[in-house]
């Protein structure tokens, strides 16, 4: 079975600075997708960024980028120029052949002004 591990229960960052959230996963599948979702206190889960495993290029969405290391099974999220609105729970998620999302335990990101 696939597993996703987020080893940082909580992280803090100063406004305008950069923070990196870690995620590792375990799978024997060769084709899969990886995601970062954000869940603010309002509870609406929002897609932040998506990475296809067959793509070597790291995905980027404005201030959000990933460092995808397929051999190491690592998928970290970098948030640049952090803003107060970035404060939320961040979930790393895996989707393989089973068509279901497997989530990590989440990382609470606090942004200090």
Partner 1 sequence: KAGVTQTPRYLIKTRGQQVTLSCSPISGHRSVSWYQQTPGQGLQFLFEYFSETQRNKGNFPGRFSGRQFSNSRSEMNVSTLELGDSALYLCASSLVQPSTDTQYFGPGTRLTVL
Binding stretches for partner 1 (CB under 8 A):
35, 37, 42-47, 50, 91, 95, 97-106
Q: Residue 62 is encoded by which pair of tokens?
A: 């404005």
Nearest distance from C-beta of residue 32 to partner 1, angstroms: 10
End-to-end Cα, the chain, rounded Å: 41
Nearest distance from C-beta of residue 45 to partner 1, angstroms: 4
Sort 80 into a burial class: Cβ within 10 Å, 0-12 / 13-18 / 19+.
middle
Nearest distance from C-beta of residue 108 to partner 1, angstroms: 12
Nearest distance from C-beta of residue 15 to partner 1, angstroms: 27
Q: CB–CB of 64/7 below 8 Å?
A: no
Give the nearer residue to partner 1 in terms of CB position, either 99 or 113. 99
- Within 13 Å of residue 103, how many CA atoms lie on the same side as its CB? 12
Give the nearer residue to partner 1 in terms of CB position, either 13 or 66. 66
């Amino acid at each position: 079975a696939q597993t996703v591990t987020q080893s940082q229960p909580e992280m803090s960052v100063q406004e305008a600075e950069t923070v990196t959230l870690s995620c590792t996963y375990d799978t024997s599948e060769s084709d899969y997708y990886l995601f970062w979702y954000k869940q603010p206190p309002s509870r609406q889960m929002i897609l932040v960024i998506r990475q296809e495993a067959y793509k070597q290029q790291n995905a980027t969405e404005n201030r959000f980028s990933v460092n995808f290391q397929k051999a190491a099974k690592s998928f970290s999220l970098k948030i640049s120029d952090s803003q107060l609105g970035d404060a939320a729970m961040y979930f790393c998620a895996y989707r393989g052949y089973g068509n279901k999302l497997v989530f990590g335990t989440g990382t609470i990101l606090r942004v200090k002004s």
